[in-house]
Amino acid sequence: MSMSIEISFSKTAKTSGGLVIALGSLAEPVSAAARSVDSAGQLDKAVKVAGFTGKNFSTADIIAPIDAQADRVALVGAGDPAKLTAHDWMRVGGKMFTLIRKAEKVTVMLGDADMVSVDAAADMALGLLLRAYKFDLYKTKKADDDDNGSYKLTVVFQHEDAAGCKKTFASRQAIADGVKLARDLVNEPANVLGPVEFAARAKALEALGVEVEILTEKEMKKLKMEALLGVSLGSVRPPRLAIMKWQGGKAKDKPLAFVGKGVVFDTGGISIKPAAGMEDMKGDMGGAAAVTGLMHTLAARKAKVNAIGIIGLVENMPDGAAQRPGDIVRSMSGQTIEIINTDAEGRLVLCDALTYCQERFKPEIMINLATLTGAVMVALGQHHAGLFSNDDKLSEALSKAGNATQERVWRLPLDPAYDKMIDSKFADMKNTGGRYAGSITAAQFLKRFVGDTPWAHLDIAGTAMGSPSTDINQSWASGFGVRLLDELVRANYEG
C-alpha cells in the first residue's frame, strides 16, 4: 500500500497550480525557470526572507507567492553545480522529495542544461525515488504528518534535453527497483519471509528474463551440502538454494558470480543469542537480498554481461533436531568442519554455495555478500562494509565503485597467521576462531572454499540494516550492495 511514483521528463513545463520545485545555485538562487512561474516578481523577496542562498542541499518552501502560477514554490540548492558528484545529485533529489508532502503532481524546474546534465537529472530522480521508499506494509493506520500515504505521485522534470534524460533515466529506474526489492526483503519479518517464500521472490525475476532454478533440500542432500543443511536442521522450514542467471553478454563469456547469505532468521541455534535486539536477525539475509536486488537491476537495465546470483536460504533455529557444538560436518568441497558455535552459521551456508558456484559456473570473479559478523561493526561501524579479497585488482575496483556510489568498503587483511586460528583438533577446520579478529577469521574460513577464483567477500552486517537515515534512505534496511555492485559491473565488465 505504499506510494507509487511516476517520473517523466518534459522540455516545457506546464505549471497551472500545484507544486513547483526549482533548482537553484549559489550563483543564481532563483533560476530564470523559477522566475517564469512568478509573474509578479515576488519570489526574490520571499527567498530573501527565507534566507535561501542556493547552498547545496538547502531548501526553502514558499507558500503561494502572489500571482504565482503555482500554489507553492519550493527551492532546492545545488551550491556550485559543476562540483557535484553523481551521489551529490542523488542527495539533491532526496531533498526534493522532502518538499513534496501532500502534492500529487510536481513540476521540477531544472534550469539550464549547462547546469544540469542528463546524468545529473537522472541521478536526482533516482535520489528522489530512494528517499521516497517507505516500508509500511503492516501499518493499518498511516501517519499523516509528512506521510504521502498510498497514492500516485507524478513528478515531471523540466529539462531542455527531455528525450536524453528519459533514456538515461531508464537505468536509474532499474537501480531504484533493485534497491527497493533488496530493502523490502530485508524489512520483511521472518514469519512472512521464510526460505521458501524468499525463493519465490527470486523466482519472480523470471518476468525480467532471468532464468531461476530453486534447489530443494533433497537436491542439496544429493550434492552433499552438509554444511548448509546442518544450519537448517533445527528449523521446521525447509532450506532452499536459488540460482539466478542473467545472460546479457556473449554466450562464451564467463559469468560474474554473486553469492549471498540468506539466513531468514538467526536465533544463533543451540548457541542461542541473547533476547535483546534479536528481532534484528530478521535481516540476516541482507546478502541474499542484495544479490537478488542486483540481479533485478542488471536484468531490468539489460546489462551487457553474464551474471549468476546464488543465494543460500535457511533458518537458524534451536530444536531437538538442531546441530550441536562439537558436531562435525562434511562440506560439499569435501573439507570437514567442527562446529564450535552454532551462531557462526553464515559461513556454513556460504561455503557450500561458493563451492557449488565455482564447480558449476567457473566464474570470472566471485563476490559474496553476508551479514556475517558483529565484529565488523566494532571495526568499521555503519559507514563501511568490510572487504576481504584474494585479488588486488578486484579489491581496487570495488573500492572505486564504493566511493562512486557512497556504498563504501574498507579492505581488511587476510593472512596465513589468521588462517591458523581456525585449524581444528578434530576436523579440517572449526567454524570460529576465538575472540580476536572475528571478521578476519570468518573471511579466512570462506577463503578455504574459493580456490584460485578471483574472489571478494563483503561483510555487510553494519551496513545492510539498522541504517542511519540519510538524504537517500530513511529505511531500516538500506539495500546496501545493489548500487555498489551495479556500478562495479557497469564500470568494469560491460565493454
Catalogue the active-site residues: 273, 347
317 and 208 in contact (C-beta within 8 Å)? Answer: no
Q: Which stretch in 206-214, 231-239, 368-376, 481-489 sits in contact with ligand BES by CB under 6 A?
A: 368-376
389: Cβ–Cβ under 8 A, 6 or more apart, which residues? 395, 398, 411, 414, 454, 455, 456, 457
Q: Is 214 exposed, middle or buried (0-12, 13-18, 19+ CB in 10 A)?
A: middle
Residue 266 binds to ligand BES (criterion: CB under 6 A): yes
CA distance 188 to 282: 8
CA distance 435 to 286: 24
Site string for Mn ion, 235-274 (x = CB under 5 A): -------------------------------x--------
Q: Which is nearer to Mn ion, 343 or 459 (CB)?
A: 343
Residue 266 binds to Zn ion (criterion: CB under 5 A): yes
Sheet containing 59-63, strands listed edge to edge, beginning at the edge strand earlier in sequence: 4-10, 152-158, 105-109, 19-24, 72-77, 59-63
Going by DSSP bridges, is the β-strand pair 211-215/336-338 parallel, antiparallel, or unpaired?
A: unpaired
Q: Looking at 226, 343, 352, 407, which residue binds Mn ion (CB under 5 A)?
A: 343
Q: Which stretch in 339-347, 349-357, 400-408, 471-479 sits in contact with ligand BES by CB under 6 A?
A: 339-347
Residue 432 binds to ligand BES (criterion: CB under 6 A): yes
Q: Which of residues 436-455 bind ligand BES (CB under 6 A)?
A: 438
The count of C-alpha atoms lying within 13 angstroms of the C-alpha of 81, restricted to the half-sphere facing its C-beta, is 23
Q: Looking at 168, 235, 323, 373, which residue binds ligand BES (CB under 6 A)?
A: 373
CA distance 236 to 443: 29
Residue 267 binds to ligand BES (criterion: CB under 6 A): no
Going by DSSP bridges, is the β-strand pair 336-338/365-370 parallel, antiparallel, or unpaired?
A: unpaired
Q: Which does 374 bind (CB under 5 to 8 A by kind): Mn ion, ligand BES, Zn ion, none?
A: ligand BES
C-alpha cell at 49: 526572507
Q: Which is nearer to ligand BES, 169 or 449 (CB)?
A: 449
CA-to-CA separations, 15 to 32, 75, 355, 397, in angstroms, rounded:
15, 15, 58, 44
Residue 345 binds to ligand BES (criterion: CB under 6 A): yes
Q: Looking at 81, 346, 402, 433, which residue binds Zn ion (CB under 5 A)?
A: 346
CA distance 160 to 142: 38
Q: Which does 432 bind (CB under 5 to 8 A by kind): ligand BES, Zn ion, Mn ion, none?
A: ligand BES
Position with the least CB separation from Mn ion: 343
Q: Looking at 259, 461, 482, 485, which residue binds ligand BES (CB under 6 A)?
A: 461
Q: Which of residues 147-206 bind Zn ion (CB under 5 A)?
A: none
Ranges of H-type helices in 389-481: 392-405, 416-419, 438-447
54 and 28 in contact (C-beta within 8 Å)? Answer: yes
Residue 338 binds to ligand BES (criterion: CB under 6 A): no
Beta strands in 283-326 (DSSP E): 306-316
Least CB distance from residue 437 to Mn ion, whole Å?
17
Q: Looking at 38, 88, 226, 284, which residue binds Zn ion (CB under 5 A)?
A: 284
Least CB distance from residue 276 to ligand BES, whole Å?
12
Q: Which does 297 bind (CB under 5 to 8 A by kind): Zn ion, ligand BES, Mn ion, none?
A: none
Element (H, E) at 385: strand 385-389
Q: Which of residues 344-363 bind Mn ion (CB under 5 A)?
A: 345
Sheet containing 336-338, strands listed edge to edge, beginning at the edge strand earlier in sequence: 328-330, 336-338, 429-430
Q: Which is nearer to ligand BES, 204 or 379 (CB)?
A: 379
Residues that bind ligand BES (CB under 6 A): 266, 284, 341, 343-346, 371, 373-375, 432, 438, 461
Residues that bind Mn ion (CB under 5 A): 266, 343, 345
Residues that bind Zn ion (CB under 5 A): 263, 266, 284, 346
